[in-house]
Amino acid sequence: MHFAMTDEQRMIVDTTRAFVEAELYPHEALVERTGHLPMELIREIQAKAMAAGLYAANMPEEVGGAGLDTLSWLLYERELGRANYALHWTCVARPSNILLAGTKAQREKYLFPCLRGETWDCLAMTEPGAGSDLRGMQANARQDGGDWVLNGTKHFISHADIAGFTIAFMATGEEDTPRGPKKKITAFFVDKGTPGFTVREGYRNVSHRGYSNAILDFDDCRVPAENILGEIHKGFEVANDWLGATRLQVAATCLGRADRALDHAVHYAAERRQFGQQIGKFQGVSFKLADMAMELKAAELLTWEAGWKFDQGSVTEADMAMAKLKASEVLAMVADEAIQIHGGMGLMDDLPLERIWRDARVERIWEGTSEIQRHIISRQLLRPHEG
């Protein structure tokens, strides 16, 4: 078993970190202060990311991406995760892998414009009454001749304001199961500007300022059958096949922010003097640093192992749930302890710590709450013992 990075992976890490520090860090204060990411800034950084070969690096080579294996991609995501989320997600965009599930015509219409940086995609699953329980969604689609008519509301839809289209998951029927009726779900491409499709401003969020969310309304929104992604009633299947690694992506970006917070804490503990010595020499501080480093290492190992297993075809849902759960909870702990070590200065916006602390809170909620991750892990443990 080898733990060292390859030369290629080291180059990916070094290149991405240098880009983040030079091109993203300088704009964090603006985004944090205004809560807005100007389109001209997006285009400026986007062009630099493309020139550096960092744009759409999650995509396979056959469609113009970097063709990274999962572990290399996660190392890349960790470095991007060190910066303000709006900056790295919007300006160094990674189109959703689910776009690869499209037909040739759908790839031409939706995937390739995203790869060229001409537009962005967004996914619409969550509803006001259906968050973790996606099977409880009320938004629906009914067939009408050769078209489908969509009705309902989605919310918490990330960057839908700039996306040129959405992939909307809609209830399209119901089937009987041993546990009772279960909704059938279908995924649809819906272009912005389609009659009956409205994008409304979302909620002000304490986490990830500048990274917008929106409310999507579908009011007798008519789309052709050719806009179905995958098969009718197979929306969850296509999501599971193509979105499986998103929890690992969340884990990796959490690691990046936790590493940045730990770096600040270590440097401050080494430089700050109280009672005639460096504060890092007091056990009350040094033991915090030790615990932060140990927990971060544990989260990294869980994440890297899950990424490696993903490429081997042996990863389980529990592997990815453990990585996401551990990394998101470690980020919260590291951010909080980093602020404690800095004292009052840690809460000032001169440093990125208060932002990292605020941003950490949402990571235990989106892409599956911590409770959902624990359910997935425990379900795998108990499944062999079911009657």
Instruction: Convert the pLDDT of each residue in 76-97 to its tens digit.
Output: 999 999 999 999 999 998 899 9
Q: Are residues 260 and 380 in the same domain?
A: yes
Q: Are residues 261 and 379 in the same domain?
A: yes
Instruction: Convert the pLDDT of each residue in 254-275 to its tens digit.
Output: 999 999 999 999 999 999 888 9
The whole domain housing 177 covers 120-232
SS (H, E, C) the chain: CCCCCCHHHHHHHHHHHHHHHHHHHHHHHHHHHHCCCCHHHHHHHHHHHHHCCCCCCCCCHHHCCCCCCHHHHHHHHHHHCCCCHHHHHHHCCCCCHHHHHCCHHHHHHHHHHHHCCCCCEEEECCECCECCCHHHCCCEEEEECCEEEEEEEEEEEECCCCCCEEEEEEEEEEEEECCEEEEEEEEEEEECCCCCEEEEECCCCCCCCCCCEEEEEEEEEEEEHHHEECCCCEHHHHHHHHCCCHHHHHHHHHHHHHHHHHHHHHHHHHHCEECCEEHHHCHHHHHHHHHHHHHHHHHHHHHHHHHHHHHHCCCCHHHHHHHHHHHHHHHHHHHHHHHHHHHHHHHCCCCCHHHHHHHHHHHCCCCCCHHHHHHHHHHHHHHHHCC
Distance CA 89, CA 39 (A): 13
Task: Determine which of 21-25, 91-95, 102-106, 161-165 has the lowest per-residue pLDDT on average.
Answer: 91-95
The region, left, alpha or beta by phi > 0 then psi within -120 to 50, assigned to residue 34 is alpha
Distance CA 286, CA 272 (A): 13
pLDDT at res. 231: 93
CATH number assigned to the domain comprising residue 309: 1.20.140.10
Distances (CA, A) of 2 to 92, 243, 308, 314: 30, 28, 11, 18
pLDDT of 1 strictly over 70: no
Q: Are 245 and 67 in contact (CB under 8 A)?
A: no
Q: Give the Cβ contact number of residue 91 at 10 Å.
A: 26
Mean pLDDT score across all residues of the chain:
93
Residue carrying structure tokens 């140990």: 294
Region 193-219: what's the mean pLDDT? 94
Q: Which of 232, 250, 282 is the last residue of a domain?
A: 232
Q: Are strands 180-191 and 228-229 parallel, antiparallel or unpaired?
A: antiparallel
Q: Is residue 303 part of a domain?
A: yes
CATH number assigned to the domain comprising residue 23: 1.10.540.10
pLDDT of 326 strictly over 90: yes
pLDDT at res. 2: 78
Percent of residues, the chain, with pLDDT higher than 70: 99
Q: Is residue 380 part of a domain?
A: yes
pLDDT band for 379, please (50, 70, 90 cuts).
Answer: very high
Region 284-289: what's the mean pLDDT? 96
Task: Determine which of 69-73, 110-114, 273-277 has the lowest per-residue pLDDT on average.
Answer: 273-277
Q: Is residue 109 part of a domain?
A: no
Q: Are residues 318 and 218 in the same domain?
A: no
pLDDT band for 351, please (50, 70, 90 cuts).
Answer: very high
Question: Taking the CA atoms of the chain, what radius of gyration do you get in angstroms?
Answer: 22
Phi, psi of 190 (to 5 degrees): -130, 120
Q: Is residue 340 part of a domain?
A: yes
Q: Give the Cβ contact number of residue 158 at 10 Å.
A: 22
User: Annotated catalytic sites, by residue?
Assistant: 367
Q: Is residue 115 part of a domain?
A: no
pLDDT of 132 strictly over 70: no
pLDDT of 387 strictly over 70: no
Q: Are residues 373 and 273 in the same domain?
A: yes
Number of structural domains, the chain? 3
pLDDT band for 130, please (50, 70, 90 cuts).
Answer: confident
pLDDT higher at 35 or 151 = 151
Q: Which of 204, 232, 260 is the last residue of a domain?
A: 232
CA 218 to chain centre: 25
Q: At what angle do helices 70-80 and 246-271 cross, to 10 degrees?
A: 50
pLDDT at res. 177: 75
Q: Is residue 313 part of a domain?
A: yes
Instruction: Convert the pLDDT of each residue in 213-252 to its tens digit.
Output: 999 999 999 999 999 999 999 998 898 888 778 899 999 9
Q: Compute the half-sphere exposure of residue 132: CA atoms within 13 Å on the CB side of its CA.
A: 11
Q: Are 239 and 58 in contact (CB under 8 A)?
A: no
pLDDT of 303 strictly over 70: yes
The region, left, alpha or beta by phi > 0 then psi within -120 to 50, assigned to residue 364 is alpha
Q: Are strands 121-124 and 165-177 parallel, antiparallel or unpaired?
A: parallel
Q: Which of 202, 232, 262 is the last residue of a domain?
A: 232
